[in-house]
Amino acid sequence: QVQLVESGGGSVQAGGSLRLSCAASGSAYSTSCMGWFRQASGQKREGVATIDSESIPTYAESVKGRFTISRDNAKNTLSLQMNNLKPEDTAMYYCAAAEDDCMTALQGLGIMTPEHLFHYWGQGTQVTVSS
């Protein structure tokens, strides 16, 4: 069982930066695939980035080169550094954890572990980017 609490959202102008954090509790954190997902108003939730237990990341095409996902297994924290933010990045951002590690076969193809494998979710933190 993993409990997740996000922080760090807010409002920023286009081109600005924000850093999201996720505090995780639960003994299985260090071996779990972790990810950030987002859901814009009226849209389906989508994957932003995932990271495996060895800190190997996978990103959605829309955020590559702008966002960086990282984890600290000693502190049970997950982070998302977001630079050069765009209005289309406006969404509720969720931290999520899977029961197992990320799917390495998909990672090798640059594909994130599917959302349905993430069973634990935080409450979300809002990110708003104005033009």
Please tell me the predicted confidence (pLDDT) of residue 1.
Answer: 75
Regarding predicted confidence, which is higher, 30 or 4?
A: 4
Please tell me the predicted confidence (pLDDT) of residue 20.
Answer: 98
By the 10 Å C-beta count (0-12 exposed, 13-18 middle, 19+ buried), 16 is classed as middle
pLDDT-based confidence at 127, cuts 50/70/90?
very high
Q: Is 48:80 a contact under the CB 8 Å cutoff?
A: yes
Please tell me the predicted confidence (pLDDT) of residue 2.
Answer: 82
What's the angle, vertex CA 112, arms to CA 115 and CA 69, rounded to 5? 100
Cα–Cα distance between 38 and 127 in angstroms, integer?
9
Continuous H helices in the chain: 104-108
